[in-house]
Structure 1
Amino acid sequence: MDINFKRTLLLVLSVALLKFGNGQDSTQLVPAILTFGDSAVDVGNNNYLPTIFKANYPPYGRDFVNHQPTGRFCNGKLATDITAETLGFKTYPPAYLSPQASGKNLLIGANFASAASGYDENAAIINHAIPLSQQLEYFKEYQTKLAKVAGSKKAASIIKDAIYILSAGSGDFLQNYYVNPLINKAYTPDEYGTFLVGAFSNFVKNLYGLGARKLGVTSLPPLGCVPLAITLLGNHENGCVSRINTDAQGFNKKINSAAANLQKKYPGLTIVIFDIYTPFYDLVKSPSTHGFLEARRGCCGTGTVETTSVLCNPKSPGTCSNATQYVFWDSVHPSEAANQVLADALIVQGIALIG
């Protein structure tokens, strides 16, 4: 990010802090962050599930606090971790299924996300992940616990003023639609996208009913540039798989349109669709501009197909020594260094959610 732009952003955040900082931890711009979705934002819920989609072993987490794996699908921090720090949080909202999600830790929010979940409930169930409908049930449970800790009046204030984050859709396409003939023979990518956006709209309606008012939703990244897609679906073409990127862009148009309609329909609702596609595509196409050397394969192992414990693990041969040079950590997920670039874009786009 341009240094002058960063200074301007910090000034905006400082003004927001002065304006909205009363009545909560004086360093936080919002009282809490509540996160739903998939592996891009899962901070360890899958550690407690009978699924192969886990990241609670090395080399995951090797550049995180204490160099310990937590269940984050990254060598270090997720974009949402970095965003929380920018918003003044000293610690991260805990994974809801973890022992840390209790007592006063609940005051800053919770994370309900689950790797291999998404808008398609059936895919989440097959993967033994937490479907979005169940994530909402956990959120209801969280509200009851929060009221016991904070009192009902303060709990209601936290729920109303919190920022809600939703990340889903990438796995629906990469780990479900493109590899499942039962689905890709029955639906065109456009039809499947319409189905997923319907699920998104239903989720937002239910989340709004539970008190959420400020929602940030990630668009799809350029899925055709993900190493896994290039390896399995690229047909040896150079660079990104263009048809998959076209599908992602089509989906993004649909979700932007749906969000605009939802915002008109529900009073007091603010939805920001974070454009992940543009900054991520820029990273992959011009890695050296951002200080990266490698954008076609991940750091872990061969970096071409590793997404689960089966393939990215302590014995994976060829894992790079310096992940800051890589846009991708494994064959799907960004490195912490790439997440920093994405988080810079998120915080600028999400100013409307603060306050």
Structure 2
Amino acid sequence: MLGIIILILLICQTDFIMEELGIKELLPAYLQPNLQPEDLLTGVTFASGGCGYDPLTTELASAIPLSDQLQLFKEYTEKVKQIVGEEGQNRIVKTAFVLVVAGSNDIDNTYFASRVRKLQYDISAYTDLIVGLASTFFKELYGLGVRRMGVFSAPPLGCLPSSRTLGGGKTRDCANDYNEAAQMFNTKLSAELESLNIQFPDARLLLIDIYNPLLYLIQNPIKYGFEVVNKGCCGKRLS
């Protein structure tokens, strides 16, 4: 049985993945009041919008911190044990594919937008900080029995509408400093995941690159049916 347990997510991505794998159309929230027992066996989300690896990011967004999400995950495993027994619980957690999506809010909101961390760190030191916090989080998941993790990279943050407005000049181009920060984070995150794969040979931590595919789409909009990508939120479809 394949279980997909999402701790932090971008809803569109995870729902597409769930549907493509034929598991379920939508991924239910673990805290959803009408959650059914069978949903626990095929995947739930513990996500909280605005959360980040940096605790300050989560505090600024009034989101559920990673530490609390881990506690919810522990609670989840106990419920699964009640349904399928300890052996079944261990099998589900061990074979589950845990998707983790974080880092973007740290860089975009906490570092650039609020400038709180920018007063304390340069971007190299800050990306070191959040990659270190991410690594600690992955190790905690490993300690809870998780062996397969898909970790999303940061997207081209400089191409977000807000970043274009703040740092893209009159033509609202992608802001280079945001994109460079995202690339720096992604490079360090990739290296850390490789290190953890060596440290934990029975686990597999995979970096899911969304930076390059999204940037290619943005730089080649006509190939995807768009002719304008620097105005509004979603561009303009070709007729």
Bin for the TM-score computed over the shorter chain: over 0.9
2: CA distance, partners of 1:203 / 1:297: 37
Secondary structure of 1:33 counterpart: coil
Matched with 1:259 is 193
The offset of 1:204, in angstroms, is: 0.4
SS at match of 1:130: coil
Within the alignment, does 1:147 sit opposite 2:81 as a pair? yes
The AA in structure 1 aligned to 2:144 is L
What TM-score do you get using the length of structure 2 for normalisation?
0.93
User: How far apart are the structure 1 equivalents of 2:111 and 2:8?
Assistant: 17
Task: State the secondary structure of the residue aligned to 1:239.
Answer: coil
C-alpha distance in 2, partners of 1:195/1:97? 30
In structure 2, the partner of 1:90 is 24
Q: Between the two proteins, what is the percent identity of the paired residues?
A: 36
Q: Show the counterpart of 1:246.
A: 180
CA distance in 2, matches of 1:190, 1:271: 23
From 199, 211, 226, give the equivalent of 2:160: 226
Equivalent position amino acid for 1:260 in 2: E
Select the residue among 216, 222, 226 that pairs with 1:288: 222
Partner Cα distance (1:165, 1:324) in 2: 31
Contact 1:33 1:163 in 2 (8 A): yes
Could you tell me which of 108, 113, 118 is aligned with 1:174? 108
Larger helix proportion, structure 1 or 2?
Answer: 2
Superimposed CA distance per residue, residues 191-241 of structure 1 (whole angstroms, 9 cap, x where no aligned partner): 110000001100000000011111101111111111111112323355211
Is the contact between residue 284 and residue 296 of structure 1 (CA under 8 Å) also seen in structure 2?
A: no
Residue identity in the other structure for 1:82: F
- Structure 2 counterpart of 1:32, one-letter code: G
- Cα RMSD of the aligned pairs, angstroms, is 1.9
1:34 maps to 2:16: no
Deviation track 1:300-338 (CA, whole Å, cap 9, x = no partner) reads xxx3xxxxxxxxxxxxxxxx8xx9949xxxxxxxxxxxx
Instruction: State the alpha-carbon separation in 2 of the partners of residues 145 and 324 from structure 1.
Output: 47
- In 2: Cα distance, 1:265 partner to 1:101 partner: 36
Q: Secondary structure in 1 aligned to 2:5? A: strand
For these two proteins, the number of residue pairs brought into alignment is 238
Q: Is the 8 A contact 1:94 1:111 kept in 2?
A: yes
Structure 2 unmatched ranges of 5 or more = none
**1:190 equivalent in alignment to 2:124:** yes
- Does structure 1 retain, via aligned residues, the 8 Å contact 2:107–2:181? no
Output the amino acid matched with 1:37: I
Q: Which amino acid aligns with 1:163?
A: F
CA contact 2:6–2:99 (8 Å) conserved in 1: yes
Q: Note the alpha carbon deviations across 1:82-128, whole angstroms, 9 max, x for none.
A: 11111121343311111243411111021011110011112202321
SS of 1:217's equivalent in the other structure is strand
Matches of 2:215 and 2:71, distance apart in 1: 35
Check the 8 A contact 1:101/1:110 in 2, yes or no: no
Q: Which runs of 5+ in 1 are unaligned?
A: 1-23, 25-30, 42-77, 304-319, 327-355
